[in-house]
Amino acid sequence: MSDVARLTSRVELDGGSDVVAVEEPLEIRVGGEPLAVTMRTPGHDEELAVGFLHGEGLITAGAPLRAGLTDDLAANVVEVDATLTRDPGTRRFYTTSSCGVCGRGALDEVLLTAPDVGPRDTPHVPRALLASLPERLRQPGFDATGGLHATGLFDLAGELLLVREDVGRHNAMDKVIGRVLLDGGLPLADRVLCVSGRLSFELVQKAAMAGAPVLVGVSAPTSLAVSLARECGMTLAGFARDGRVNVYAGAGRVT
């Protein structure tokens, strides 16, 4: 099945039909115990599960890890075999496709667990390159539906290395980071992350946990996103469009 076919569904409407983004629930289990439910676009679910757990500081790069879909609920359950870094206790996560784990996680908690992203003035990234990254994202699902977000992983020359689409912007980020985690590529010390929408706190959190020094978005950041990026020493750039970009944190890397 092609990516577009997996990401989309045709629905009837008055006078014809339309193509819309697929949205279904996914339950994430660790050691057989339910831990999280997220609304997502099916596909790359193992990446989503491990990326989510890593972003929440529940697993670390380099630790033994295995993930796979189960037969439950028409493959809407993914089982992760990993040793958690801490006991989540009675806390369980429910995330929607729009907002991620809204309101959870203070700045101090992220700062305690996020790796250092390195010197505040390296790597060097040209401003013009940052401004061009959203145009380099491949988004066939969005082109077909107008209803999907994307996260892309770029090298310092602006080459797109990996891209994932999902109805949830945080899910797209989790899928990219999860893929890199499974491939043993964390931390993202010499990579740039780019998202197709606004820059919210949870996206900066996930990027910080992955050790990414630079995060770019096509839209606006929130105040908490800017605060966290500055505390973590990340470069945060928004409104990357039409050859221009605003740098809200970490301007020392931008040439």
Which residues sit in the known binding site? Answer: 239-244
How far, in Å, CA of 141 to CA of 150, rounded? 9
Residue length of the chain: 255
Torsion of CA 85, 169, 109, 115, to 10 degrees: 70
Inter-residue contact 42 to 168 (CB < 8 Å): no
> Is residue 99 among the annotated active site residues?
yes
How far, in Å, CA of 201 to CA of 183, rounded? 26
Host H or E run for residue 236: strand 235-241
Backbone φ and ψ of 207, nearest 5°:
-65, -40
Inter-residue contact 149 to 39 (CB < 8 Å): no
> Locate tokens 């060097």: which residue?
124
CA 27 vs CA 5, 8, 53, 63, 67: distances in Å: 22, 20, 12, 22, 13
Catalytic pick among 99, 102, 194, 232: 99
How far, in Å, CA of 195 to CA of 64, rounded? 29
The residues annotated as belonging to the active site are 99
